[in-house]
Chain A
């Protein structure tokens, strides 16, 4: 009895003959009110799915932009409980846009695994991407999450060979997330041809939709990657849009929310050009 929002959304995008757009934002950044306004407006701006970053003090796989985004939220008193509250409020007006929580394991472990899974499901979360839980640690959270009706979306990377890919895919659900390069979030996209080949290689082994993320910054990037991928993921540039809109004290300005939504609109335009 997994939540069905993800599958329904992909079916709809496929019907429209275009890749889906996933937007990543850090929950509660730069502050709770602004972060909530950003979140609420993402679907109208053109996001098909939403990745909501759970802030963590030590985001080892993230570049500076997302590190600072999470730090702004934590400095504002944000916790995992607040992230779940944001989802709950979002769900009051939107029951179709999938929400995937992305982050690191320790805040969940501290929350209590079973308690967290129940609370996430209850709040209206559809899936989890936990960076520091490879398949070797499936019993920690992946298997209990699947049991609780949440999708567990796995990352595969350029270092994942075919033999390993089979094991990575085993308990993956919802979609597969291909990390376009070896590097942290925010680095530059290097070789789009290799990305296309990797997507083909993954599709031999699975029927799940394949998302591609890391390094996608512009509508043109989105259009280019959307030629190969079922799903295009954009994060760092949105977090940067928040950062660039802040005043000299790091506080939100009247432009903060619209800066993010305008960028999402142009990226949504990009994915709609991908296959024309």
Chain B
């Protein structure tokens, strides 16, 4: 793959799955042999030309890659600063970046001879993408989804059912993404023989954070080529929203060693970062801890109990973040900023009116950061936003907020 530079920010993780002090393999003994097996299988697959060719073929003909790089002309004009581009992952089959990862992992599960797929989902986008690849490859699929999310992302629940997946609502805790992940892990412990756990973001125990990043890195790799063709050189700034951080790391990773490219990760600021347990900004409002197999920034109380967090966006409503982001935060390479629910709602509506695009509420967090950034930059500068998903699933939520306000 890419040449390894000794002082590169792109060398992680270590063999132990560490990005600096973050990452690792903090799982129960029952799962440890499975995680080691997965690591071996992935190492073998990623250098197998047949596997690479099959994935690339699916990316082209099933997903519709490459996703366009689109100049958002009216948005740029309106903001009156940098030129704003959208990397349009929302045009992928199933409507988000999630399919990039699911295709990579389902091919791996097949290679490993697994016959049953489980997944967790928040917004339902990962659940839909997983149900999609399971239908495509003929494997049974069980999706764990917090009961709160089942309610606020109802259109996606029905989509998953149409695709043949079984949805299990999780009532523990606040019934959001964290609780769904706990339940998926419990399922995996009980079904080690035949089950593959298809994690939806760049978090969890090693090798998931690195593997999911690799599958999502197609975003940044395409962008480098497209941008150079359209504008020449590299963008001045990249912006993406951060749930577990998979679309963001997919956008950023390609450019980590390009010092002129500034990077911004938009976390879910909920009601505001100062509101106790009223946000899901694990990096700007949390501290390092260990959950779901990795050390990373977490929302937690004094006693190390994990907080639920809160966000209007189900896909960002998670008290942790992928370990590579924690590393990039501490190293200072990426700026992580909180975006409130109301800022995201405003961005959602503006994008609809100016560009004729409904962004997912997750992606709208990124757009809100673009709206802050662009006016501070020159007209010959450029920002690329990862438009990670489309907003159809959020129309009900948005209408409730607009009418309720």
Contact = CB atoms under 8 A, between A and B. Distances in A.
A36 B71 CA distance: 66
B29 A134 contact: yes
B72 interface: no
Interface stretch (B287-295, B364-372, B378-386): B287-295
Interface string B113-129: 00000000000000000
A67 interface: yes
Contact of A136 (B32, B34, B172): B32
B165 interface: no
A259 interface: no
A110 B306 CA distance: 11
Contact of A109 (B16, B32, B289): B289
A61 B27 CA distance: 9
Interface string B284-305: 0000011111000010101111
Contacts of A137: 24-26
Please indicate which of the listed interface residues B30, B186, B289, B290 has the most CB atoms of chain A within 10 Å of its own CB: B30
Contact of B289 (A81, A110, A179): A110
B302 to A, nearest CB: 7
Contact of A156 (B29, B289, B306): B29
B178 interface: yes
B64 interface: no
A102 interface: no
B305 A159 contact: no
Which size bracket describes the interface of A in this complex? Answer: 35 or more
B25 A107 contact: no
A56 interface: yes
Contacts of B240: none
A50 B302 CA distance: 27
Contacts of A81: 303
Interface in B291-324: 291-293, 298, 300, 302-306
Contacts of B185: 60-61
Interface string A81-95: 100000000000000
Contact of B304 (A60, A108, A184): A108
Interface of B: 16, 24-34, 172-173, 178, 182, 185-186, 189-193, 289-293, 298, 300, 302-306
Interface of A: 56-61, 63, 67, 74, 79-81, 104-111, 131-134, 136-137, 154-161, 164, 168, 179, 182-184, 187
Given A58-B178, A159-B30, 18 more contacts: A58-B292, A59-B182, A60-B182, A61-B28, A63-B186, A74-B305, A106-B300, A106-B304, A107-B304, A109-B304, A110-B300, A134-B26, A136-B24, A159-B29, A159-B33, A182-B189, A182-B193, A183-B190
